[in-house]
């Protein structure tokens, strides 16, 4: 009996990925070859840094806050569960743009007033200056808004991952003398991570796209710079083509990295 034929790797490459790669190469070549497109690309370069900065910081903070909320959602204390559930349901039910405006124009002044109230003894002594709303940069207001919104969605992802681990493993760890923290760190989280990774990575990709909404606050991201440049030159077609190209480059690259990481985890599980 002849051995099975090895899989044809060329057939495994998805056509949609080849089509996107070809489109990306053509767009990149057009940017390199055309001086006008190069000018637009150079005008948007600073926006790439801002977009990645806002997304990266907000996602890290949202992950930390989401993990805390998820642990509260799975807590044995009812008060913690109810408060965490209230937070998740309220935040998930409000559009991101509304949260963005609320944090920027309602939450920021309230936080400034709260900071001045807490630091009043130091301000009166002249040790600290009084905080004003202008000190609260719009970039950081956007980061806070993205953090609040995505922490609720990430909390549900973390909760689903935590609850996917069999309860008996928790009880066995406690019977061996492990604390709840050590049980979570060494038993629950490593197993939950395999369940969490795909939606967790997808949420990071979604945040990159949703970060375009921060342009509504005048934050100088890719979308805002594209809006300013196109309105001054009337080159809307060329400008927004490059804006779309930049977002697609970031999101598709990250999506492929998430898929690669997911496949490696599956291979590790299979080898075991």
Distance between CA atoms of residues 18 and 29, nearest Å: 16
pLDDT of residue 270: 64
Across 125-152, average pLDDT? 87
Which of 115-129, 215-229, 237-251 shows the lowest mean pLDDT across its residues?
Answer: 115-129
pLDDT of residue 1: 47
Can you give the pTM of this predicted structure?
A: 0.84
Query: pLDDT band at 125, cuts 50/70/90?
Result: confident
Q: What are 84-109's pLDDT values in tens digits? A: 999 999 999 999 999 999 999 998 88
> Comparing 193 with 272, which gets the higher pLDDT?
193
Q: Is the pLDDT of residue 271 over 70?
A: no
Decide if 176 is inside a domain: yes
**What's the rounded Cα separation, in Å, for the pair 54 and 220?**
10
Pick the range with the lowest mean pLDDT from 4-18, 150-164, 201-215, 231-245. Answer: 4-18
In three-state form (DSSP H/G/I as H, E/B as E, the rest C), the secondary structure along the chain is CCCCCCCCHHHHCCHHHHHHHHHHHHHHHHHHHCHHHHHHHHHHHHHHHHHHHHHHHHHHHHHHHHHHHHHHHCCCCHHHHHHHHHHHHHHHCCCHHHHHHHHHHHHHHHHHHHHHHHCHHHHHCCCCCCCCHHHCCHHHHHHHHHHHHHHHHHHHHHHHHHHHCCHHHHHHHHHCCCCHHHHHHHHHHHHHHHHHHHHHHHHHHHHHHHHHHHHHHCCCCHHHHHHHHHHHHCCHHHHHHHHHHHHHHHHHHHHHHHHHHHHHHHHHHHHC
172's tokens: 């066995």
Q: Please, what is the average pLDDT of the chain?
A: 86
Q: What is the pLDDT of residue 269?
A: 63
Q: Which residues contact 169 (CB under 8 A, 6 or more apart)?
A: 187, 188, 191
Q: Is residue 251 part of a domain?
A: yes
Q: What is the pLDDT of residue 258?
A: 86
Query: Is 253 domain-assigned?
Result: yes
In the block, which residue shows the tokens 């995505």? 150
Over the stretch 7-65, which tens digit does the pLDDT of each residue have? 555 556 788 878 888 888 888 898 888 888 899 999 999 899 999 999 999 999 999 99
In a domain, 27, yes or no: no
The dihedral formed by the CA atoms of 27, 20, 205 and 263, expressed in degrees to the nearest 10: -140
For residue 38, tell me if it sits in a domain.
no
Predicted pLDDT of residue 170: 67
- In angstroms, the Cα distances linking 9 to 14, 69, 80, 261 are 10, 43, 51, 19
Measured distance CA(44)–CA(51) in Å, rounded: 11
In a domain, 87, yes or no: yes
Q: For 61-88, what is the mean pLDDT?
A: 93
Q: What is the pLDDT of residue 5?
A: 53
So what's the pLDDT on residue 103? 92
pLDDT at 272: 62
pLDDT value of residue 98: 94
Distance (Å, whole) CA 27 – CA 35: 13
Lowest mean pLDDT among 27-36, 48-57, 134-143, 187-196: 187-196
255 found inside a domain:
yes
Q: Is the pLDDT of residue 220 over 50?
A: yes
Among 81-90, 223-232, 262-271, name the one with the lowest average pLDDT.
Answer: 262-271
Alpha carbon 129 to chain centroid distance?
Answer: 34
Nearest by Cα to 153 from 201, 193, 203: 203
The number of distinct structural domains making up the chain is 1
CATH of the domain at 231: 1.10.3720.10
Give residue 243's pLDDT band: very low, low, confident or very high (50, 70, 90): very high
Quick check: is 14 in a domain? Answer: no
Question: Structural domain of residue 165, as residue ranges?
Answer: 43-263
């Amino acid at each position: 009996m002849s051995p099975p034929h090895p899989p044809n790797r060329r057939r495994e490459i998805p056509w949609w990925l080849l089509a996107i790669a070809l489109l990306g190469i053509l767009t990149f070549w057009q940017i390199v070859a055309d001086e006008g497109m190069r000018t637009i690309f150079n005008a948007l370069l600073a926006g790439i840094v801002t977009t990645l900065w806002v997304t990266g910081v907000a996602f890290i903070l949202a992950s930390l806050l989401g993990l805390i909320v998820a642990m509260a959602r799975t807590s044995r204390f009812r008060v913690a569960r109810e408060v965490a559930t209230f937070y998740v349901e309220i935040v998930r039910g409000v559009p991101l743009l509304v949260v963005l405006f609320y944090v920027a124009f309602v939450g920021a002044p309230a936080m400034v007033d709260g900071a001045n109230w807490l630091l009043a003894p130091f301000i009166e002594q002249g040790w600290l200056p009084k905080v004003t709303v202008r000190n609260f940069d719009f970039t950081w207001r956007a980061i806070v808004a993205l953090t609040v919104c995505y922490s609720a969605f990430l909390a549900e992802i973390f909760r689903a991952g935590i609850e996917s681990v069999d309860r008996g493993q928790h009880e066995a760890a406690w019977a061996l003398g492990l604390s709840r923290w050590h049980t979570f760190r060494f038993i629950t989280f490593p197993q939950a991570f395999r369940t969490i990774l795909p939606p967790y990575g997808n949420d990071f990709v979604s945040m990159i796209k949703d970060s375009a909404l921060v342009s509504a606050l005048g934050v100088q991201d890719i979308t805002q710079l594209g809006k300013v440049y196109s309105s001054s030159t009337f080159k809307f077609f060329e400008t927004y083509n490059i804006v779309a190209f930049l977002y697609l480059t970031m999101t598709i690259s990250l999506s492929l990295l998430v898929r690669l990481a997911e496949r490696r985890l599956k291979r590790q599980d299979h080898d075991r």
